């Protein structure tokens, strides 16, 4: 359902016809933890002039958010529609910052020199790929696309530690995205217990989320006092 079709009819704030109350609670808490990740990312951008989300993930995630805001509206109620729009708006600033500071993630001169055209192409391709995959193949709330992105995102978070060192990586982001993904994964396990592909994506995401946190501590990166500094 598109946002224009959605607005033609009244909808509850929390749709208990499609989801059990505990499933809505799990998703909402997980979503709030991801809002914390976004605010930590924006704080890091403003304070340290670095983007701590991998560039490929930003391109794909922005495509996911615009698609689910305009063309594949969540069916969990008005609260989640508002939340998806809020994520998209926050992501506009992150995408803008990617064009300003994203080069700091790149160590290869050839790739860095190509970023002025490579990043716009990545954003456009992210929009096209997410639109056609979600509207053609995904489940309600777009968990397949969301977790495919989550797998590549969490793997790239790990690689970013070795490529750029302490470039704005924080334990606050590490723990928030792990716990947020975990709660949302539990929710989708209960909603689609027969979908083993989705479950395998959730488990893979959790594995790399945990490894990322372990590396943050092992490499002494992203201490809490820095993450919470003002």
pLDDT in tens, 86-133: 889 989 999 999 999 989 888 888 988 999 999 999 999 999 999 999
pLDDT score for 230: 40
pLDDT score for 227: 41
pLDDT score for 108: 85
The residue among 75, 30, 17, 19 whose CA lies nearest residue 191 is 19
pLDDT score for 150: 95
> For residue range 207-230, what is the model confidence (pLDDT) as tens digits?
999 999 999 888 877 554 344 344
> For residue range 30-69, what is the model confidence (pLDDT) as tens digits?
999 998 999 999 998 998 888 888 899 999 999 999 999 9
170 and 226 in contact (C-beta within 8 Å)?
yes
What predicted TM-score, i.e. pTM, was given to this entire model? Answer: 0.88
182 and 30 in contact (C-beta within 8 Å)?
yes
Listed in order, strand segments (DSSP E) in the chain are none
pLDDT score for 224: 42
Name the band, by pLDDT with cuts 50, 70 and 90, for residue 147.
very high
The domain locations on the chain are 12-227
Give long-range contacts, CB 8 A cutoff, 24+ apart: 93-99. 93/42, 93/45, 94/38, 94/41, 94/42, 94/45, 94/51, 94/53, 94/58, 94/62, 95/58, 95/62, 95/123, 97/45, 97/51, 98/51, 98/55, 98/58
* b (16+ CB within 10 A) / e for 26-44: bbbebbebbebbbebbbbb
pLDDT score for 107: 82
pLDDT of 164 strictly over 70: no
Tell me how far apart the alpha carbons of residues 220 and 209 are, in angstroms, rounded to a whole number. Answer: 17
Tell me how far apart the alpha carbons of residues 40 and 177 are, in angstroms, rounded to a whole number. Answer: 11
The residue among 165, 45, 173 whose CA lies nearest residue 98 is 45
């Amino acid at each position: 359902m598109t946002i224009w079709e959605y607005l033609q009819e009244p909808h509850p704030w929390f749709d208990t016809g499609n989801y059990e109350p505990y499933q809505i609670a799990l998703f909402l808490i997980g979503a709030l933890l991801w809002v914390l990740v976004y605010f930590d990312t924006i704080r890091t951008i403003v304070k340290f002039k670095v983007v701590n989300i991998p560039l490929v993930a930003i391109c794909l995630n922005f495509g996911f958010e615009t698609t689910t805001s305009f063309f594949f509206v969540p069916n969990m109620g008005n609260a989640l529609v508002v939340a998806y729009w809020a994520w998209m708006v926050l992501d506009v600033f992150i995408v803008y910052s990617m064009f300003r500071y994203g080069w700091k993630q790149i160590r290869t001169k050839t790739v860095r020199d190509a970023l002025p055209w490579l990043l716009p192409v990545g954003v456009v391709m992210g929009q096209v790929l997410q639109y056609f995959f979600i509207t053609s193949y995904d489940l309600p709330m777009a968990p397949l696309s969301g977790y495919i992105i989550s797998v590549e995102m969490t793997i790239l978070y790990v690689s970013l530690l070795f490529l750029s060192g302490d470039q704005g990586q924080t334990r606050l982001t590490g723990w928030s995205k792990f716990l947020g993904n975990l709660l949302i994964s539990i929710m989708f396990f209960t909603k689609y217990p027969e979908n083993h592909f989705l479950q395998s994506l959730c488990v893979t995401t959790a594995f790399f989320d945990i490894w990322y946190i372990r590396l943050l501590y092992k490499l002494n990166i992203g201490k809490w006092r820095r993450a919470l500094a003002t």
